[in-house]
Amino acid sequence: MSERGRLDVVLVHPSSRRRVYQALAQNLAAVEPPVWAGLMATYLRKRGYSVDILDAEAEELDAAETAQRVVEMDPLLTAVVVYGHQPSASTQTMPAAGAVCRALRALDPTRRTVLVGGHVAALPERTLAEEACDFVAAGEGPTTLGGLVEALKSSDPDAYQKVPGLWYRAPNGEAISTGFAPLVRSLDAEMPGMAWDLLDMTRYRAHNWHCFGHLEREPYAALYTSLGCPYHCSFCCIQAPFKDGEQLMGTASHVNTYRTWSLESILEQIDLLVTQHGVKNFKFADEMFVLNPRHIRRICEALIERNYGLNIWAYARVDTVRDDMPEMLKRAGFNWLAFGLESGSERVRAGVDKRFEQDLIYKTLEKVRRANISVIGNYIFGLPDDDLESMEETLALALDLNCEFGNFYSAMAYPGSQLYDEAVVSGWQLPEGWGGYSQHSVDTLPLPTKHLPASEVLRFRDRAFDRYFTDPGYLAMVHRKFGQATVDHIRDMTSHTLVRNNA
């Protein structure tokens, strides 16, 4: 329980936006609330601990400023949270997280610091060895943080050994692991939503495309209605917090980590955000929201009844959208769905365990757009089996689908993915620093394919982005749907040239 007069935990969301997004950071990139910090704050509060959140990203604090603020807050434990706003964004946050740890150690070497998040869960021993931290959480995070606070308050010399999912150093410098940390299974009872009162909601803004049509981008909120994912695409690191080597939470490596909050818990958060903070723009951050028909239906029916006039976006797969879903989603306020289309080549998709027929893409997107839901197509260039011909197929697919927005990625071997393990074993060149795993940074270094060097993949990706967003057919569609102001905005977006060291 909390000691009177001293804060138990500060959860730090480090600031990485400017480094990661270059010139896009100022006005184009979203400023998202730190979802995992908010969830872990609730988990700790439920156990009686005093908690605060320092969102250095939203406040635009550098590492030194962040460290100074932490020292002034004087918590028993500082938890630097390395979860991104999408699965692949955790690793690119590591340079900022590491800088905060170093600044804290320089300012006050006695301060106890733990790193927690997707990247560190994928590489806990390496993180402990390389970063200026005292502890690393090897799993999802909440249960480890709760146990660690208790251990720090204990006089038991073996207290750390009883903390699940913890890595720490013995007095002789040896790295010690306490094994697995259990998942938070009873979400409503243990972690019922985010600690919204610890966040300044005026600081958050939606993605530029989310508000096409000249909608206001602020305020903005992101929340989960479920955790985990039943899928195991080889290029994805979603499962990183749930596994240890070849094992996943001590069981088979393909166990389902998917869990949901109750309708009542979800609506309580939405009601609060709408009525007390005036939020209309929402991201449902679930790794795969359009998945469980009963879960979706109950949420949509409640939102339709409330008639808040929301502007929501969420993730879906082309093989999870049932015929009756799009109209219901639209009525509930879902104006955008993001689909991982990945490649225009079925051969390339099959090589990364993303198997679906090409016709299914067209059929699913047609019924979604028929309900007047806009589509974000996510494409990846440089998957292991890609060559120039298959990447051209991917660009051709994107142009033919002509989605209202497109995200163009280079294939990365993100720590925690099967692709990363394969890259390490095969000796493929990986980025020298964690910042190189960002899609937009100066030092971005994608994977080479079996046929192409990394530099060629990156050049193709950047050309594909420009080709898509300057395409006359795309701009004409945007003008018809969103108006001239949005066309002008897209032209401004494409005027920003990313600096690349490896293209």
For residue 255, the model assigns a pLDDT of: 57
Q: Contact 36/26 with Cβ under 8 angstroms?
A: no
* Report field, pTM of the whole predicted structure over 0.75: yes
- Collapsing DSSP states into helix, strand and coil, what is residue 128? helix
Give the C-alpha separation, 189 to 193, whole Å.
10
For residue 327, the model assigns a pLDDT of: 98
| φ, ψ at 273 (rounded to 5°) | -65, -40
Q: Contact 221/204 with Cβ under 8 angstroms?
A: yes
For residue 482, the model assigns a pLDDT of: 98
For residue 257, the model assigns a pLDDT of: 77
Domains and CATH numbers, the chain: 9-177 (3.40.50.280), 205-225+261-411+446-494 (3.80.30.20)
Q: Rounded to 5, what percent of the chain is helix, strand, coil?
A: 45, 15, 40
355, β-bridge pairs: none
For residue 14, the model assigns a pLDDT of: 95
Q: Contact 178/144 with Cβ under 8 angstroms?
A: no
Average pLDDT per 10 consecutive residues for the chain, totaling 503 residues: 76 80 62 95 98 96 96 98 75 93 97 95 95 96 97 95 96 93 91 97 95 94 90 72 46 64 97 97 93 95 98 95 96 97 90 81 97 97 94 97 97 88 90 89 90 96 97 98 97 89 80
Tokens of 381: 């260039």
Give the C-alpha separation, 10 to 77, whole Å.
7
CB atoms within 10 A of CB 89: 21
For residue 247, the model assigns a pLDDT of: 42
Tokens of 39: 């969830």
